[in-house]
Amino acid sequence: MIRSAIKDFVQKADILLLLLCILANSFGLILVYSATRFRAVYHSLPMKQGIAMAIGIVVFIACNYIDLEILMERWKPVFLLSSLFIALLIPFGSDHLGNRNWIEFSWMPFSISPAEIVKIFFVLLLAKQLTWLQRRDPNNLSRVRSVAQLLLHLLWYVGLIFVISRDAGTALVYVAIFVIMCWCAGLKKRWFLIGIAFTAGAGYVGFRLLPENNHWKRRIQVVLDHNADPDTSWNQTRSLLAIRSGGLTGEGYLNGTLTQSTSRGALPERYTDFIFSTCAEELGLVGCVIMMVLLCAIILRCLQVGLNARSGFSALVAIGYGSMLIFQTGLNIAMCLFVMPVVGITLPFFSYGGSSLITLYAAMGFVSGIKMRSLPSWLRDRSNIGWGRTRRRAF
């Protein structure tokens, strides 16, 4: 029975996607091991990351067999439970670097980040809403009422996250997922132009009104002028030094000067936010290219599954998870290269973080399930299928 179950999984699931995730995660585990050797208190983190990886693979397999279209027929409990999950941060959340975004219990090997986990449900709910609006009327999606409903969906989750946890980085990921999914669903371009104009105007006014000692204002200022505030730019300055010192092939695994240092001038957050800089210093450009190739392969696989999906809902889910990876990867690397402010975004599959890693495996498991239920090749181009019309319009 077990043998037949394994055979069934290998035949139907997206084994390529699972292998890519395991390869990226294993590479990340190697980097986490190196980045935690500098202090004994961190020596247990690679083991915890390995446990999270094992749990993640099991979660991938379980999520592969969940039919999301059946699950989301009862979307209201999903919305309610995901909102309440974020609200748990009010009584149980613990502060870390100014953000109240972690739930910690002594009996758990790692912390839980509700906002990180809820991302997978945010994608499901948004895909459900977009396809429901499209189904009512192909032109309904771009009407003012529909756009207002979509914005309310976004503002509800972003508001919960920002007000309760003050985690602007995760909130930005939600916004990026929202924008890409709405674009792929066929929302008219005028709404994106309006959104860009409004965001630019509100951002400029907000930046001018912030007091000079506001930490967000200082983080933006040091990106524009690296010498504006040496204290605020310290982390990213060390990151640049680590990247530059790596060169083509790096200083050698376990031999990075700033990665292995215990002095004040060491690379900060070297196993989480700045894991890319750790890779650059010890493995050089070669290591960074391998890292990015693996992440790009996972992203492209998500997009490919979306293009072959059996319905608009399934396609938007796969693309939503792909867009999540695109934005987190781009923002994290840009942060390490000192071209974006520090916002506390980890690098998918590479940075240390149990709840983040398990969430990623769950999302990829859902994508694998979509691939398993995708349309056969002889049906994909038939014009009399409703999803065929939607797909050409959306992409």
Supply the DSSP string of 222-270, one letter for each residue.
HHH-TTS-TTTTHHHHHHHHHHHHHTTT-S-TT--HHHH--STTSPTTT
The domain ranges of the chain are 24-394
What is the residue whose two structure tokens read 């192909």?
Answer: 138
Q: If pLDDT is split at 50, 70 and 90, which confidence band does 56 have? A: very high
Mean pLDDT (whole number) for 60-81: 91
For the chain, what is the mean pLDDT?
88
Is the pLDDT at 108 greater than 80? The verdict is no
Tokens of 106: 């002594």
Q: What is the identity of the amino acid at 99?
A: N
Is the pLDDT at 194 greater than 90? The verdict is yes
Q: Count CB atoms within 10 A of the CB of residue 73.
A: 9
pLDDT digits (tens, 9 = 90+) for 332-382: 999 999 999 988 889 999 999 888 999 999 999 999 999 988 755 545 554
| pLDDT at site 193 | 94
Tokens of 86: 């974020």
CA angle 326, 223, 356 (to 5 degrees): 35
Give which of 70, 25, 6 is closest to 358, Cα–Cα. Answer: 25
Is the pLDDT at 386 greater than 50? The verdict is no
Using an 8 Å Cβ cutoff, are 94 and 103 in contact? yes
**Taking the model in full, what pTM does it have?**
0.91
Mean pLDDT (whole number) for 98-109: 72
pLDDT digits (tens, 9 = 90+) for 24-44: 999 999 999 999 999 999 999
| pLDDT at site 60 | 96
Tokens of 216: 């967000």
Using an 8 Å Cβ cutoff, are 58 and 101 in contact? no
Beta strand 93-96 with 99-103: parallel, antiparallel or unpaired? antiparallel
Tokens of 34: 């190196």
